[in-house]
Amino acid sequence: MEKVRQADPADRFPLMKIQRYFQNDSGHMCIVMPKYGPCLLDWIMKHGPFSHRHLAQIVFQTGVALDYFHSELHLIHTDLKPENLLMETTDTAVDPVTNRQVPPDPCRVRICDLGGCCDERHSRTAIVSTRHYRSPEVILGLGWMYSTDMWSMGCIIYELYTGKLLYDTHDNLEHLHLMEKTLGRLPSEWAGRCGTEEARLLYNSAGQLRPCTDPKHLARIARARPVRDMVRDDLLCDLIYGLLHYDRQKRLNARQMTMHPYVTKYYPEARQLPSHPDNRPTLRPPPVM
């Protein structure tokens, strides 16, 4: 957190910044941070999913923050989820058509909980990410990098739009079967590349995923639908599929997410902002995913 604060003293990028820290008389470390609004999970639980415009604003801001985090600081967050995206303010507005409370326009957010982030030198065989936002390469012990953050963003964006978890499970085998129902078949070559004994046991001798036997798991798998059936907007669907690509080299990076046509359509003002990649000529190339 101190590294983030020192690297961005002008607060150009929407990451949580500590203001100061100190030890009290008993030796306890105290960290002072700004007061922000609710996390995005609390918002959708209270007010429902976000509109396309507000969602595009969230996508843009998180993309700018992650592009800086990945490309400039060479850090991986490892635990992106709606609880770790905070609104900057508690202010709300009222939609004149629906009379519902809505976020301010623009909806400004911050990525928080940076304490678990790691750099490129970190062992990438460890289990990271909260279960529902965990990438397949983490589950199977295939090694992970910046792209695991982008997988988490795909799951988050789906949830912020639908109000529902994409992968509501706590079991590895069920999780992989749900991926196949929502995104298509997992790459067959993964069966022979699993990095842990636990992951290898998810496949049979023929290199196929073992079937689920738990009735509750089977029921959830049966109810699962392809992402394209649940997200009717073509551009949003393209964005989510791009972030949930099985091939990490083809998965969208943070800068590509920021500049995606979905953002351009629903938040066209982003193109004029100083934080837009086109307006930052000294940008470093995105890192290898």
Catalytic positions, please?
79
Q: CA 139, 145, 148: angle at the middle one, nearest 5?
A: 55
Helix (H, G, I), strand (E, B) or coil at 37: coil
37: nearest Cα among 94, 100, 107: 107
41: nearest Cα among 169, 165, 141: 165
69: nearest Cα among 4, 17, 148, 134: 4
DSSP 230-275: H---HHHHHHHHHHT-SSTTTS--HHHHHT-HHHHHH-GGGGGSTT
142: nearest Cα among 156, 131, 128, 153: 128
Q: With the CA atoms of 82, 88, 91 and 96 taken in that order, what torsion angle do they form, in degrees rounded to the nearest 10?
A: -60
Q: Are strands 109-111 and 85-87 parallel, antiparallel or unpaired?
A: antiparallel
| CA 165 to each of CA 21, 32, 41: distance values in angstroms, whole numbers, following the listed order | 36, 32, 11
Q: Are strands 93-94 and 101-102 parallel, antiparallel or unpaired?
A: antiparallel
Question: What is the separation of C-alpha 246 from the centre of its chain, rounded to a whole number of angstroms?
Answer: 15
CA–CA separation, 157 vs 260, rounded Å? 13
CA–CA separation, 58 vs 14, rounded Å? 11
